[in-house]
Amino acid sequence: MFNPPVQGAQYNFDNVVQRPPPSSYMRQQPSSKGRIPTGSRAGAPQERPVTSNRGAGFPSSSSGKKGLESKPGPSSVNTSGQKAPEEPPEVLFKKLEKEINSLLDKSAEAKLVGNLSGSLSLAKEAVSKEKKLRNLKEDAGAADQINIDLTYAACVNLGIHYQANGMFEEALNTYSLVVRNKDYPLSGRLRVNMGNIYNTQEKYSSAIKMYRMALDQMQNIGKHMKFQIMRNIANGFVKMGQFHEAIENYENIMQGEPDHRAAFNLIICYYALGDTEKMKKTFTMLLSIEIIGTQEDDEEDGEAKGPNDSLSEYIKEKRREAFKFIIDAAKLIAPVIEKDWITGYEAIAEALRNSEYSVLESEIGILKAEQYIKMKDYDKAIEVFKSFEKKDQSLMARAATNISFLYFIEKDFKNAEKYADIAIKTDRYNAKALVNKGNCLYTRGEFETSKEFYLEAIGVEADCVEAIYNLGLVNRKMEVDLEALQAFEKLQTIMANAPEVMYQIASIYENARNFKQAIKWFNLLLTALPSDPGVLQKIGFLYSQLNDENQAFHYYMESYRHLPVNIEAISWLGVFYVKSELYEKACSFFERASQIQPGEPKWKIMVASCFRRMGNDNKAIELYKKIHEEFPDNIDCLQYLVSHLKGTGQDYENYSTLLKKLLREKEMNEPVNDMPQQSAPVYVQQPPPPPPPQSQPYMPVKESAPKEVNQRPGTSRKGGKTLATKAEEDWSIQESYLP
């Protein structure tokens, strides 16, 4: 009889072979070894086998045992390796939407800190994920759950970042996709962005078209936005020169939402059309515009105030902006609204006096004085400035500074210093007054003291270009070239490519005999003044110092081409052709020099010397005699004439006697040659920046003094020297005239 196994017993299935189930009930299949399967014995009654109450092949402890090799069903898989179930679609959708919103926020933050490329990458990623989200919703049959607001936000954000990165075509394409979609009711606002892009590209007609379409599509927009778009339309018409259309829009703005900027632009349009009456009327409207918040400030003037908040700072900024528009408008229309500019300024002052901007009346007086300065009527300008002496201190300091400058221009250095002292006493931190004081001391030769005032002015105003430039000049005067170079290099960083500054730097390197650096800076100066003959001649001179005759010839020839009366270039070119034995070309340059300076005999002597070198002795002697008749006291001409007559065997006694007489007189009356004094440097006193580039360099071009060659003409071969040797000596004497 079959006994069931004890609970927990172990079975050995090593010899059990897996087979398919029997084909019929109670049919036994022999094992592979011919034994009867476990579960029946021979001779025993055939009964249904009893199965185990455990799963075959899965004992409670499987250490060292092998389970049954069969494919496990789902219920028999180990739960530790089971794949996690997929998230519901709704959860995935919310997760993606959260990621997209986060990318939009990050792209906006990156744009605010100036990381434009990074913000564009984030915007592109947001659009890509938004497209993925839409596709997932469509695949899941939830197309009705697509968030069109999120799609709109992602596309608009991408267009904005394209625009910020200067990728205007991509931005326009992105905006166009949005505005063409009728599902976005607010897409009309993007027409403004498209108009701004066209305005940046100077396609003003397309910009105006977009602005007008924006107005048509946004009927329910706010009043401020509407007039802001109208301003853009008016500005586009101004840039196109269509002032009548611009006036129409500006007038609508002045009726609906007047402000100082629109009034100022309207004045410009009337000024362009020459309508003086409308200019005066609009200027009156400009003065009638109030600044919101200023009334409350006036009421609180007597009260103690805490730290300024952002609102008060905003109101102050609006006040400064309004003052600027009023002053600029007055400066523009005052010379034209009346029969003369003086009456015009008086009319402007009267209008200001009767308005809430009466504090600006004194500014008009200063503008009036500046107009006198432009007309070089300095006495009237000083008279106007002196009228401010009894007014507030800040105004008095400005007036005294300008009076000092005007007296300095008139070379009245005593009064210039007097008013500079008044300005400094009134306001010690007035950099322009300190510069004027330093200039007055400079003219008296007090270079150390003037340098202190320039340094003090720089301490007050670190970017005061007048003080820095004058500091460099006074350092050069004191022969402290290194400090001068530092000053001019600092000024070069503030005022890039200023011709005056580049010239000073080049001149310092030239004095230090650093010719390569000097050439570099003169070439930079040449980019600012490409046709300046003085700069070209200076570069040629420096190349000649480096013995680069080809480059020197090029620049001297360019200087002569731009200024055919440049005597330095003419003389150098003449000598160059003589050295190259091209005497005919040299002769033409010396003849040009004699035409420019007819009272200078050396050029005619050089012409005669060229004929002598070409072998035309008769022509040379004839020219020497003509020069002697024109300049009878010229010793050099007589020396050449006597030498040449003696060399050709002609009578020279009369000329020789006259030559000896002139030499004796010269020895008896030898003049004392004073050293040439360097001219005072040009420097800036006026508050505005240095003047614009001129046709000549800012400082005069100076050459090194010529070396004197005291040689007498040679004798004949019997005297020990040949005619060729004598000719070379003759030419060396002529070269003593050249730079």
Q: What is the pLDDT of residue 300?
A: 52
Show the DSSP H helices in 72-185 as ranges.
Answer: 89-112, 116-139, 148-164, 168-179
pLDDT tens string 474-519: 999 999 999 999 999 999 999 888 999 999 999 999 999 999 999 9
Question: Which amino acid, residue 267?
Answer: I
Give me the long-range contacts of 561-567 (CB less than 8 A, separation at least 24).
562/531, 562/532, 562/533, 562/536, 563/533, 564/592, 565/596, 566/533, 566/537, 567/593, 567/596, 567/597
Mean pLDDT (whole number) for 647-672? 79
Q: What is the pLDDT of residue 136?
A: 84
Q: How confident is the model at residue 83 (pLDDT cuts 50, 70, 90)?
A: low
SS3 435: helix
The alpha-carbon radius of gyration of the chain (Å, integer) is: 49
Q: Interhelix angle for 341-353 vs 361-374, to 10°?
A: 170
pLDDT tens string 397-438: 888 898 899 889 889 999 999 999 989 988 889 999 999 999
Q: Which residue's entry shows tokens 């976005």?
A: 184
Q: What is the pLDDT of residue 440?
A: 95
Q: Which residue's entry shows tokens 């697509």?
A: 146
Q: How confident is the model at residue 392 (pLDDT cuts 50, 70, 90)?
A: low
Lookup: tokens for 490: 């600092």
> 78 or 619, which is more confident?
619
Q: What is the pLDDT of residue 692?
A: 34
Q: Does residue 444 carry a pLDDT above 60?
A: yes
Q: Does residue 703 carry a pLDDT above 50?
A: no
Lookup: tokens for 212: 């007008």
Q: Are the C-beta atoms of residues 343 and 321 closer than 8 Å to each other?
A: no
> What is the residue-averaged pLDDT of the chain?
78
Residues 6+ apart with CB under 8 A from 283: 267, 329, 330, 333, 348, 351
Mean pLDDT (whole number) for 207-229? 87
* Alpha carbons 248 and 206: distance in angstroms, whole number: 19
Q: What is the pLDDT of residue 295?
A: 56
Can you give the length of the chain in residues? 739
Residues 6+ apart with CB under 8 A from 417: 404, 437, 440, 441
Q: What is the pLDDT of residue 121?
A: 92
pLDDT tens string 116-165: 999 999 999 999 988 888 888 888 887 777 888 888 889 999 999 999 99
Q: Are the C-beta atoms of residues 573 and 556 closer than 8 Å to each other?
A: yes
Mean pLDDT (whole number) for 515-527? 95
Q: What is the pLDDT of residue 143?
A: 75
Q: How confident is the model at residue 622 (pLDDT cuts 50, 70, 90)?
A: confident
Backbone angles phi, psi at 270, to 5 degrees: -65, -35
* Alpha carbons 226 and 266: distance in angstroms, whole number: 18
Backbone angles phi, psi at 7, to 5 degrees: -60, 130
DSSP state at residue 687 = S
Q: Where are the beta strands (DSSP E) in 445-503?
A: none
* Alpha carbons 383 and 342: distance in angstroms, whole number: 14
Q: Which of 267, 361, 360 is nearest to 319 (CA)?
A: 360
Q: Are the C-beta atoms of residues 518 and 542 closer than 8 Å to each other?
A: yes
Per residue in 541-562, is it b (16+ CB within 10 Å) or e — as a string?
bbbbeeeeeeebbebbbbbbeb
Q: Which of 188, 159, 184, 179 is nearest to 171 (CA)?
A: 159
Residues 6+ apart with CB under 8 A from 196: 163, 207, 232
Q: Does residue 299 carry a pLDDT above 60?
A: no
pLDDT tens string 57-69: 544 444 444 443 4
SS3 586: helix
* Alpha carbons 345 and 349: distance in angstroms, whole number: 6
Q: Which of 22-31, 364-373, 669-678, 711-720 has the highest mean pLDDT?
A: 364-373
Mean pLDDT (whole number) for 76-86? 52
What domains sit in the chain, N to C, each tagged with a CATH number? Answer: 89-254 (1.25.40.10)
Q: What percentage of the chain exceeds 70 in pLDDT?
A: 76
